[in-house]
Amino acid sequence: MSKTPETTGPRKSPGQEDSGGLSLPPLPWLIGAAVVLAVLVGADAVIDFKPHFGVDGIFGFHAAYGLLSGLFVVIVAKIAGIFLKRTDTYYDAD
């Protein structure tokens, strides 16, 4: 009696590593994003602009405002997901 190999998932290409279920962007994208962020925040120190509300004249305000706005959207979506999600058996046949 011969044993057949067990398959636990899709086959991997040679040299392909198991990420453990976590998929992160490649390192060049992260470095590129960090460079763009540093240039844009640095431009805030160089470019002279007229603040409209007073508080937006603080150094780095726009970067912090964008970060906090993004976090707020994610938190609201997570909370909404709690109330809007379906049960695991919603699409099962009756």
What's the pLDDT at 3? 58
Question: CB within 8 A of 61, min separation 6: which ones?
Answer: 44, 55
What's the pLDDT at 76? 97
Query: Mean of the pLDDT values across residues 39-68?
Result: 88
pLDDT: is 92 or 13 the higher one?
92
User: Which residue carries 């970060």 as its tokens?
Assistant: 67
Q: Parse the chain into domains and list their residue ranges.
A: 27-84
What φ, ψ does residue 68 adopt, rounded to 5°?
A: -65, -35
In tens, the pLDDT along 17-50 reads 655 666 666 788 888 888 988 998 888 888 888 8
What's the pLDDT at 94? 63
The answer to whether 62 touches 44, Cβ cutoff 8 Å, is yes
The whole-angstrom separation of Cα 80 and Cα 78 is 5
